[in-house]
A and B are shown apart, each in its own frame.
Chain A
Amino acid sequence: MSSYHSAARLDEARRVAIFGGTHGNEMSGVMLVNLWVQNNTEVQRKGVEVQPFITNPKAVEKCTRYVDTDLNRAFTPENLSTLGGGDLPYEVRRAQEINRMFGPKGSPEAYDVIFDLHNTTSNMGCTLLLESSKDHFNLQMMNYIQKSIFPASCLVLLNEHPLLKYSTSRSVAKHPVGLEVGPQPQGVLRSNIFESMRDILKHALDFIELFNAGMEFPPCTVEVFRLSERIDYPRDDNGNIIAMVHPNLQDCDWEPLNPGDPMFQTFDGKTIHYQGSGTVYPTFINEAAYYEKQQAFATTRRESLVASAIRKA
């Protein structure tokens, strides 16, 4: 039975960008984008213009997360519209430039899809980052990727939280897709992590090519992990950390954390337990860059989203 009548008609995804080096010390994306800027054969697809792009070249050169401020938090409406030129922090100027090149954010001229490549010190494996539960194009793409790499897995993290959501570099596009692969230390290139990211992008671009060629994707259910809460380290009155992620929680991203389970361990060996009301799925456990953002890990809740059938308009 054909679902022809119920398929949502969406615009072709003709203009696609691949961002690397949004954080200059997350090496998989830096290496992949540098490779594809030199030779883009691997990312070419029929009917798609693919632009690999280093978003934060100064941070990449210094092999640091950012120079003045986190680029991946800089794409706020205020930052994008503010004047000030040379006085502005480097990353704010960069955000404005990226918005000109790949946006403007929210307008019909914006790029169709932006993949933003990241690494994490957390044991998250391959994670796709989704910004809207209503983005059926992205949901279908993520479902396609998951089916293609099976039995390898790739989970979907949805950040739609009104307070915890932030203005990413990829948010300039109509369909922003974050790619987070770990564990990998900052400044380090691990071959297996690099190849995993490369493989996911290959399938993502295949999906876009098929969609643009007119293929219809039937309705599907996608399991997502919806971001719920940020949990900080226990700190003393001076703001110094007084406990570490508990050995039972360390590296257990995406595994259920139940009320009463060990969460932190103080320096003299005492256990601090999770006091939430129900089972959550922790992620970004012990991410290096989040110490300064007051986050030891984030909690998520499992949810099933239904993506409608989609087809090129």
Chain B
Amino acid sequence: MELDEVVCFSRFSRVAICGGTHGNELSGVYLVREMQKAERKAKERGNDMEVITVLSNPRAVQRGLRYIDTDLNRCFTHAMLSGSNTNDAPYEIIRSRELNALLGPKGSRDAVDLVCDLHNTTANMGLCLISYSDSDWLCLHVFRHLQRQMPDVPTRFIHFNATNKESYSLDSVGKHGFALEAGPQPHGVMRSNIYTTMKMGVEHVLDWVCLFNSGFVFEGGSVDVYTVVRNIDYPRDRDTHNITAAVHPQLQDRDFCLLYPEDPLFLTLSGETLRYKGKEPLYPFFINECAYYEKGIAVSLARKRRVAIPAIRVQTEQEQQAKKDECTSEEEEE
């Protein structure tokens, strides 16, 4: 990429802020509620941008559960979205289709420009922006903006490399999307410091979008990206599948502290230390996340690398018109 190249993107006309995708992750639940209350008093932020606030899984929120039948945040593959609703369809499948109609359809021109999905974790991860892509320049610029605006909050970018697998989460419904994850917070609890972090994060995201829409040129640079490499499960009993060890006290709460080969991973109930047997030092995160016990994940491991990002700005109206004309003439040729 050329140093002076500026990449242009269409303006953001619709941004969705989603909370309660997991009903017991409370920062997003309460933040969306407060934003909906405020909406009744004041309208949009100007720049003709619409902010849509959504409580993704209202039944799970009401019962204080992660989900009712199945994890909503795994229900957004094309296959799951395109079936028809049967009588015994899980609640979350019906809901994912409703959300797809509201914010999507996924992959179409009508989808919202950005989905920001709010989550909490029991792991000591600070604030994380989680995305399927490490080359969506818009998301990476938003991330850099958050880091600069919130220097007291450890903020990191996590990249799930899903090249072989299709994206399955709510944030994949928008043209651009990411999850905003804040921790540590027990599920079912609201900690004021975590709420404040989440609230500030969302405000900075929306501020950035307004700035982008206004024509501001965001200079290029580079950011650190953590790309997920693998997950490690707990040691389990062969018959009952119950876990037989806890995350080692020397690993507990040390998210993003480099894990070296032979470092302690687990402490068994009989006092034995089990060690990391990988060859490569990697960065651990989602260490002891409650909801991942059932998914077979005690800790996720990532490689860190510096990613160069180009300068970006919004497409002007002339540029947008020129692009439209180009598309029309291509269609005519066909």
User: Which A residues form the contact surface with B (CB < 8 A)?
Assistant: 31, 34-35, 63, 121, 183-192, 194, 240-241, 244-247, 250, 265, 267-268, 286-289, 291-292
Chain B window 297-333, contacts with chain A (Cβ cutoff 8 Å), 1 for yes, 0 for no? 0000000000000000000000000000000000000
Residue of B187, B189, B195 contacting most chain A CB atoms (<10 Å) = B189
Contacting residue for B187 out of A34, A185, A246, CB 8 A: A185
Contacts of A183 in B (CB 8 A): 186
Contacts of B269 in A (CB 8 A): 31, 35
Q: Is the CB of B246 within 8 A of A189?
A: yes
Docked complex Cα distance between A268 and B199 (Å): 10
- Shortest Cβ gap from B65 to chain A (Å): 8
Given contacts A34-B242, A192-B249, A192-B252, whether A187 and B189 have CB atoms under 8 Å apart is no
Contacts of B294 in A (CB 8 A): 63
Contacting residue for B267 out of A184, A191, A240, A288, CB 8 A: A191
Contacting residue for A247 out of B30, B188, B193, B247, CB 8 A: B193
Q: Is the CB of A186 within 8 A of B193?
A: no
Whether B102 is near chain A, meaning CB under 8 Å from some CB there, is no
Q: Is the CB of A246 within 8 A of B192?
A: yes
Contacting residue for B122 out of A63, A185, A244, CB 8 A: A185
Contacts of A247 in B (CB 8 A): 192-193
Contacting residue for A186 out of B188, B195, B242, B248, CB 8 A: B188
Given contacts A121-B186, A186-B186, A267-B34, whether A194 and B195 have CB atoms under 8 Å apart is no
- Identity of the chain A residue whose Cβ is nearest the Cβ of B288 in the assembled complex: A188
Task: List 23 A–B pairs whose Cβ atoms lie within 8 Å, in order of A's numbering.
Answer: A31-B246, A34-B242, A184-B186, A185-B185, A185-B189, A186-B187, A186-B188, A187-B293, A188-B122, A189-B243, A189-B246, A191-B247, A192-B249, A245-B190, A245-B192, A247-B192, A247-B193, A267-B30, A267-B34, A286-B189, A288-B186, A288-B187, A292-B64
- Shortest Cβ gap from A113 to chain B (Å): 24
Q: Is the CB of B64 within 8 A of A185?
A: no
Docked complex Cα distance between A35 and B240 (Å): 13
Given contacts A185-B122, A240-B33, A244-B195, whether A288 and B189 have CB atoms under 8 Å apart is yes
- Identity of the chain A residue whose Cβ is nearest the Cβ of B271 in the assembled complex: A195
Interface residue range, chain B = 20 to 34
Docked complex Cα distance between A246 and B291 (Å): 27
Contacting residue for B191 out of A184, A188, A194, A250, CB 8 A: A250
Whether B290 is near chain A, meaning CB under 8 Å from some CB there, is yes
Q: Is the CB of A244 within 8 A of B186?
A: no
Docked complex Cα distance between A63 and B294 (Å): 10
Top 5 A-B pairs, shortest CB-CB distance = A185-B186, A288-B188, A191-B246, A187-B290, A244-B192
Q: Is the CB of B64 within 8 A of A291?
A: yes
Given contacts A187-B290, A188-B290, whether A121 and B247 have CB atoms under 8 Å apart is no
Docked complex Cα distance between A189 and B34 (Å): 33
Chain B window 256-291, contacts with chain A (Cβ cutoff 8 Å), 1 for yes, 0 for no? 000000000001010000000000000000001011
Docked complex Cα distance between A265 and B267 (Å): 39
Q: Is the CB of B193 within 8 A of A250?
A: yes
Contacts of A34 in B (CB 8 A): 242
Docked complex Cα distance between A191 and B186 (Å): 16
Docked complex Cα distance between A185 and B191 (Å): 12
Docked complex Cα distance between A246 and B196 (Å): 11
Docked complex Cα distance between A287 and B186 (Å): 9
Contacts of B193 in A (CB 8 A): 247, 250
